[in-house]
């Protein structure tokens, strides 16, 4: 409950807080109100990433969901089927090892220059789908705020997820 005293304190501090927020956005270092999609596009443009668009993203999402997700969970990783490995990594740059995690648990790993499907879960509301190499994925993950993502080859033989808890989950279709 906000009392009159709290309201008076907020009213007195509001100009200072607004100035701080404005100063943060002045040089573009901390842009406010940027969407994840804007961050992704910027990451694509700052890296050597070309031809990353998927012609029919809805088909990719439906195929991966059909193979790997049971029911209609709010986030795919809550209903994953065919789970073979779960690993928690408490390190900010653990995403650098995504290829090694897949390889370590028996999935067929593509060469580093081969494109894979990179599905990004935006707040459990929609998915963005791209086709990227391992190195391109690492670049995009490093350049953006945290987001949950799923990676799989074009044959959907395995699926790797990093969720909001820093867990990597690996599933294999057979």
> Are residues 77 and 135 both part of a single domain?
yes
Does the pLDDT value for residue 91 go beyond 70?
no
> Are residues 21 and 52 both part of a single domain?
no
Residue 61: predicted pLDDT: 95
> Are residues 105 and 23 both part of a single domain?
no
How are the residues of the chain apportioned to helix, strand and coil, as percentages rounded to the nearest 5? 40, 20, 35
User: Is the pLDDT higher at 28 or at 56?
Assistant: 56
Residue 2: predicted pLDDT: 46
User: Is the pLDDT higher at 41 or at 84?
Assistant: 41
Q: What is the pLDDT averaged over residues 74-92? A: 84
Structure tokens at 16: 């200072």
81 Cβ contact list (under 8 Å, min separation 6) = 67, 68, 69, 70, 171
Q: In DSSP terms, which residues pair with 126 in a beta bridge?
A: 122
Nearest CA to 75 out of 141, 145, 161 is that of 161
Q: What is the pLDDT averaged over residues 139-168? A: 90
> Are residues 38 and 25 both part of a single domain?
no
Strand 148-152 and strand 116-122: the pairing is antiparallel
How many separate domains does the chain show?
A: 2
Lowest mean pLDDT among 24-33, 95-104, 160-169: 24-33
> Are residues 81 and 142 both part of a single domain?
yes
> Are residues 16 and 62 both part of a single domain?
no
User: Is the pLDDT higher at 2 or at 95?
Assistant: 95
> Are residues 74 and 136 both part of a single domain?
yes
> Are residues 9 and 53 both part of a single domain?
no
> Rg (Cα) of the chain, in Å, rounded?
20
Cβ–Cβ < 8 Å for 111, 103: no
Structure tokens at 92: 């900010």
> Are residues 81 and 146 both part of a single domain?
yes
> Are residues 99 and 140 both part of a single domain?
yes
> Are residues 13 and 44 both part of a single domain?
no
> Are residues 124 and 49 both part of a single domain?
yes
67 φ/ψ angles, rounded to the nearest 5 degrees: -75, -40
CA distances from 100 to 19, 55, 141, 167 (A): 45, 28, 16, 15
Q: What is the pTM of this model?
A: 0.76
Q: What is the pLDDT of residues 4-51, one digit of tens each?
A: 444 455 555 566 555 555 555 555 555 567 888 899 999 999 988 888
Domain interval for residue 19: 1-29
Q: In DSSP terms, which residues pair with 168 in a beta bridge?
A: 87, 162
Q: In DSSP terms, which residues pair with 87 in a beta bridge?
A: 168
């Amino acid at each position: 409950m906000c009392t009159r005293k709290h309201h008076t304190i907020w009213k007195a501090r509001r100009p200072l807080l607004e100035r701080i927020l404005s100063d943060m956005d002045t040089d573009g270092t901390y842009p406010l109100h940027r969407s994840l999609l804007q961050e992704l596009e910027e990451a694509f443009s700052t890296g050597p990433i070309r031809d990353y668009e998927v012609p029919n993203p809805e088909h990719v999402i439906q195929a991966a969901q059909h193979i790997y997700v049971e029911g209609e969970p709010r986030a795919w990783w809550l209903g994953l089927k065919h789970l073979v490995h779960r690993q928690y990594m408490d390190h900010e740059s653990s995403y650098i090892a995504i290829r090694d995690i897949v390889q370590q648990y028996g999935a067929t790993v593509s060469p580093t220059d081969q494109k894979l499907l990179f599905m990004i879960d935006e707040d459990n509301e929609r998915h963005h789908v791209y086709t990227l190499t391992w190195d391109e994925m690492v670049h995009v993950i490093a350049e953006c705020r945290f987001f949950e993502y799923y990676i799989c080859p074009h044959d959907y033989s395995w699926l790797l997820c990093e969720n909001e808890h820093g867990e990597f989950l690996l599933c294999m279709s057979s």
